[in-house]
Amino acid sequence: MAASSRTRLLLKNAHIASLQDNGEPYGLIKGAIAIDNGTIQWAGSEDQLPPDWCQTATDLHICDLGGRLVTPGLIDCHTHLVFAGDRSGEFEQRLNGASYADIARAGGGILATVKATRAASEAELLDLAAARLEAMMAEGVTSVEIKSGYGLDEASEIKMLQVAKRLEESLPVRISRTFLGAHALPPEYAHDRAGYVNWLCQRMIPRIAGEQLADAVDAYCEHIGFTPEETRKIFDAAVRHNLPVKLHADQLSDMRGAALAAEYCGLSADHLEYTSVQGVKAMARAGSVAVLLPYAFYSLGETRKPPVAALRQWQVPMAVATDCNPGTAPNTSLLTCLNMACVLFGLTPEESLNGACTHAARALGREQTCGQIAPGFHADLAVWNVTTPAQLLYWRGASPLYMRIFNGRID
Ligand code: NIG
Ligand code: FE
């Protein structure tokens, strides 16, 4: 590429929460970030700026941030962003006494969204999902994981995954796609659980892997979802096709889901409200990330909290995500979830911010390129109208985003 068409960007006069391990809280650096061609080249104090970044260089775009806070672009590592329909009626039902499980058993819940999502065209789903994604991006999000799981037949599952791909093609954001065929038993298989699991393992997972339609395989292991034995079969098929796994684990009961995900070296186990210390230790040994989803906990009025003290003790990395979905987490605000992770689960602001950056990247297998401000990482950044990370996490309301940078380009 000719030097003149290169995009060299120097962000100066910034408070940088680099999240690098540099001995400072949040990896704080007061100074500048040098970006070339979408990649961070250097971050440090301005008096140590490398010579080729001298501020008189003609090909350099310089941006004075006026002392603002810069963080890595936020990463929402667990969402069900692509869906049609509305489940506010269930919100009413729950407040009139029905439980989430009651509604699911009566054919509502996930299956209500399956019906609406099957009926929607790809273009309709794209419009709906793009609006949600733009709301996330307006709060500094630069990477999002999106699960299938509201199709539950071949064409509809693939339609959802195609929509996720088209979102990445049409908006400045990185998308990781996860196949969640094991989200609920579709009506066609209501009396044939084994047949559905076989179809997932023998038809869908090979196709998903062969056509690279997803980056990982997930399952909902729960008494109203899939059993550990069924989950194991699905994970075996994923492993045979070289797809990493993650798991909705121990959300409503202790199904030993965390340990099951760990047995398969899962990228992550998510929810974890009922996870035991044994499950935590298994995750620590496997290097799996614990993805905490405080909005679902809050929205369902749960009282049992994930074992944060044990996760800390066994040094399991904790991520925080929205779980954006129409049933248990009707919310697109990752910043709200970071605040909730602090207030409801007792994470420190530093743990919480890492939960949407370094550890979220790891939950997606992207820890080498996303989630930190360090040389070699993608220049995906959020610049905020505050100067400290604590300010970012404690106040909720209008988005504090000043500027979003994706792949080295200012939005
Ligand atoms: O992560 N629990 C399973 N999946 C979602 C809920 C989906 C829904 O209710 O539509 C979750 O909480
Ligand atoms: Fe979920």
> How would you class 23 by CB atoms within 10 Å of its CB: exposed for 0-12, middle for 13-18, buried for 19 or more?
exposed
In which domain, by residue range, is 63 found? 8-72+371-410
Helix (H) or strand (E) holding 292: strand 289-292
Q: Do residues 216 and 230 share a domain?
A: yes
Q: Could you tell me if residue 272 is inside a domain?
A: yes
Q: Do residues 224 and 253 share a domain?
A: yes
- Residue 327 CB less than 6 A away from ligand 1: yes
With a pLDDT cut of 70, the percent of the chain lying above it is 99
Q: Of 400, 291, 295, 395, nearest to 340 (Cα)?
A: 295
Q: Do residues 244 and 388 share a domain?
A: no
Expressed in angstroms and rounded, the spacing between residue 267 Cα and the centre of ligand 2 is 15
pLDDT single digits (tens) 46-55: 999 999 998 7
| pLDDT exceeds cutoff 70 at 173 | yes
**Per-residue pLDDT at 57:** 77
- Residue 109 CB less than 6 A away from ligand 1: yes
Expressed in angstroms and rounded, the spacing between residue 260 Cα and the centre of ligand 1 is 19
In this prediction, residues 303-312 reach a mean pLDDT of 98
Alpha-carbon distance of 370 to 251, in angstroms, equals 28
For residue 218 the two structure tokens come to 């997930």
Q: Do residues 286 and 310 share a domain?
A: yes
> What 3-state class would DSSP assign to 145?
strand
- With cut-offs at 50, 70 and 90, classify the pLDDT of residue 58: confident
Q: Of 313, 384, 299, nearest to 69 (Cα)?
A: 384
Q: Which residue has the higher pLDDT, 104 or 388?
A: 388
Which ligand does the CA of 326 lie closest to? 1
Q: Could you tell me if residue 144 is inside a domain?
A: yes
> What 3-state class would DSSP assign to 269?
strand
Q: What is 20-84 written as a DSSP string?
A: -SSSSGGGEEEEEEEEETTEEEEEE-GGG--GGG-TT-TTEEEEE-TT-EEEEPEEE--------
**Per-residue pLDDT at 107:** 84
Residue 300: CATH number of its domain: 3.20.20.140
pLDDT single digits (tens) 199-220: 999 999 999 999 999 999 999 9
- Residue 326 CB less than 6 A away from ligand 1: yes
Cβ(408)–Cβ(9) below 8 Å: yes
Q: Do residues 272 and 390 share a domain?
A: no
Cβ(258)–Cβ(294) below 8 Å: no
Report long-range pairs for 135-139 (Cβ below 8 Å, ≥24 apart): 135/332, 135/333, 136/76, 136/322, 136/324, 136/332, 136/333, 136/334, 137/171, 137/172, 137/173, 137/404, 137/411, 138/399, 138/401, 139/74, 139/332, 139/333, 139/334, 139/335, 139/399, 139/401
**Per-residue pLDDT at 149:** 98
Q: Could you tell me if residue 350 is inside a domain?
A: yes
> How would you class 339 by CB atoms within 10 Å of its CB: exposed for 0-12, middle for 13-18, buried for 19 or more?
buried
**Per-residue pLDDT at 56:** 78
pLDDT single digits (tens) 348-387: 999 999 999 999 999 999 999 999 999 999 999 999 999 9
**Per-residue pLDDT at 4:** 46
| pLDDT exceeds cutoff 90 at 164 | yes
Residue 400: CATH number of its domain: 2.30.40.10
Measured CA to CA in angstroms, residue 19 lies from 22, 40, 143, 214, 373 at distances of: 8, 14, 17, 28, 7
| pLDDT exceeds cutoff 90 at 23 | yes
Q: Do residues 384 and 239 share a domain?
A: no
Q: Could you tell me if residue 3 is inside a domain?
A: no
Expressed in angstroms and rounded, the spacing between residue 197 Cα and the centre of ligand 1 is 19
**Per-residue pLDDT at 59:** 85
Which residue has its alpha carbon closest to ligand 1 atom 9? 327
Length of the chain, in residues? 411
pLDDT single digits (tens) 91-145: 999 999 999 889 988 889 999 999 999 999 999 999 999 999 999 999 999 999 9
Q: Average pLDDT, whole number, for the chain? A: 96
Q: Could you tell me if residue 134 is inside a domain?
A: yes
Q: Do residues 83 and 198 share a domain?
A: yes
- Determine the residue type at 407: N
- With cut-offs at 50, 70 and 90, classify the pLDDT of residue 279: very high
Q: Could you tell me if residue 224 is inside a domain?
A: yes
- Residue 113 CB less than 6 A away from ligand 1: yes
Expressed in angstroms and rounded, the spacing between residue 80 Cα and the centre of ligand 2 is 6
pLDDT single digits (tens) 322-356: 999 999 999 999 999 999 999 999 999 999 999 99
Q: Do residues 240 and 324 share a domain?
A: yes
Q: Could you tell me if residue 2 is inside a domain?
A: no
**Per-residue pLDDT at 55:** 74
Domain count of the fold of the chain? 2
Q: Do residues 142 and 288 share a domain?
A: yes
| pLDDT exceeds cutoff 50 at 2 | no
- Residue 349 CB less than 6 A away from ligand 1: no
Alpha-carbon distance of 74 to 153, in angstroms, equals 32
| pLDDT exceeds cutoff 60 at 308 | yes
Helix (H) or strand (E) holding 403: strand 401-406
**Per-residue pLDDT at 5:** 56
- With cut-offs at 50, 70 and 90, classify the pLDDT of residue 1: very low
- Residue 132 CB less than 6 A away from ligand 1: no
Q: Do residues 41 and 78 share a domain?
A: no
Q: Do residues 238 and 355 share a domain?
A: yes
With a pLDDT cut of 90, the percent of the chain lying above it is 95
Q: Could you tell me if residue 146 is inside a domain?
A: yes
Q: Do residues 183 and 294 share a domain?
A: yes
Alpha-carbon distance of 73 to 139, in angstroms, equals 9
**Per-residue pLDDT at 106:** 87
